[in-house]
Amino acid sequence: MGAKVLNIIEYHKYFLYFLLFYFFFSYLCSTNKLQMIHIALTIDENYVRYCTVVMASILENNKMDDITFHIVANDLTGNSKTIISNQVKNSKALVSFYTVPSLLLEAYELKWGHKRLSMTVFYRCLLATILPETIEKVVYMDCDVLVLQSLRDLWNTPMENIAVAGVQDLLETPKEYFSRLEYDSKYGYFNGGMLLINLDYWRKHNVENRLKEYFRANLDKVVRNDQDIMNAVLYKEKQMLDMKWNVQIDVFLTKHYSDINLRNKCLAVAGDIGILHYCYRKKPWHYNCIHPMRDLFFKYQKLTPFDDYSRLQIPLSKIHRFLHNLPYTLGIKESKILDKKKFERYLEEKDN
């Protein structure tokens, strides 16, 4: 009799272990579903190539995460949609496409960058309406960035009572920005190239309409388009993030390396890049780009259908690049941006 009781107890013990494992596994699965990382990329037909490079960098460095790309564009051809969709075919990532009704853009007009920007810059002001209400937050990125680390820590940033989180614009934001937009510099000013947007907050607090109303009432104050608008309206409702999540051109400027303290600050950021932002008028795909981390763009481009596509395949562009770089190579002219060799030498010195 005693042996039977012991057998029953032993059986129930293993059954209990099984139940605990089952519920724990179910919890992990349900939690993982809630943690899908949503990424918004706003483009036009001219930026399809660069969009796929951004996607490639994300997929390469976030292989363990579930990701959905939300592509917001009005003029994509069927072929371009196929190219973008195929970018994720060997991963578990998903892609959705959205268009922007012209009515939503009626309040806006470009104030700066007319030659190289389009109305797509205002799409990020409309994501709370464009994306499904089931999506609570989204990481917005420009298509001149590369993601070099897992986005999980960024995605898990607490956003309670916060409309948007971003990285400071430049190492030191010009004071003119704050005087022009009329708010205290203690609140900071973020760069719009990467934003973690709390869509739920935007919907509950009527943020989209507030942005439109501010723009129409302050046309004389707005210079940097939607970036100015969001900073001005949400200056008390935003959160500043670590610079690693939007490493800008300032970190590579020659003038910052003459001062040891500023140099160390730049190198600390450059040594731990989460998202690299080529926020300079000369992009990696331009023949005259001298960004020290330019080659990274082509590394990730090799993972797209545009493998090795470059303007430098054209002989005339190669000649242009050679002539453009010659004064810097000969030491006749000092570049505003560190060249690759100097930058790598500084990094080695820092590590030693």
Beta carbons of 198 and 164 less than 8 angstroms apart: yes
Instruction: Determine phi and psi for 168, rounding to 5 degrees.
Output: -50, 140
Q: C-alpha distances in angstroms, 116 versus 161, 228, 288, 337?
A: 35, 18, 16, 21
pTM score over 0.85: yes
pLDDT at 25: 47
pLDDT at 349: 87
CA atoms within 13 A on the CB side of 347: 16
Residue 98's closest CA among 37, 145, 41? 41
Structure tokens at 183: 């708010």
Instruction: Determine phi and psi for 305, rounding to 5 degrees.
Output: -65, -10
Pairing of strands 137-141, 190-198: antiparallel
DSSP per-residue string spanning 110-151: --S-TTT--GGGGGGGSHHHHS-TT--EEEEE-TTEEE-S-S
Query: From CA 217, how far away is CA 236, in angstroms rounded?
Result: 19
Q: Is 246 strand, coil or helix?
A: coil
**DSSP3 helix / strand / coil % (the chain, rounded to 5):** 50, 15, 35
Instruction: Determine phi and psi for 344, rounding to 5 degrees.
Output: -65, -35
> Kind and range of the H or E element at 208?
helix 207-217
Pick out the chain residues at pLDDT < 50.
Answer: 5, 25, 28-34
Instruction: Determine phi and psi for 117, rounding to 5 degrees.
Output: -110, 160
Kindly report, residue by residue over 22-68, the tens digit of the pLDDT: 555 455 444 444 489 999 999 999 999 999 999 999 999 999 999 99
Type of residue numbered 195: L
pLDDT at 18: 59
Q: Would you tell me how many other CB atoms lie within 10 Å of the CB of residue 134?
A: 6
Beta carbons of 55 and 83 less than 8 angstroms apart: no
pLDDT at 112: 77
Instruction: Determine phi and psi for 114, rounding to 5 degrees.
Output: -60, -35
DSSP per-residue string spanning 291-316: -TTHHHHHHHHTTSTTTT--GGGSHH
pLDDT at 333: 73
Residue 65's closest CA among 88, 97, 96? 88
pLDDT at 283: 94
Kindly report, residue by residue over 222-266, the tens digit of the pLDDT: 999 999 999 999 999 999 999 999 999 999 999 999 999 999 999
Please measure the distance between the N-terminal and C-terminal CA atoms of the chain and give it in whole angstroms. 73
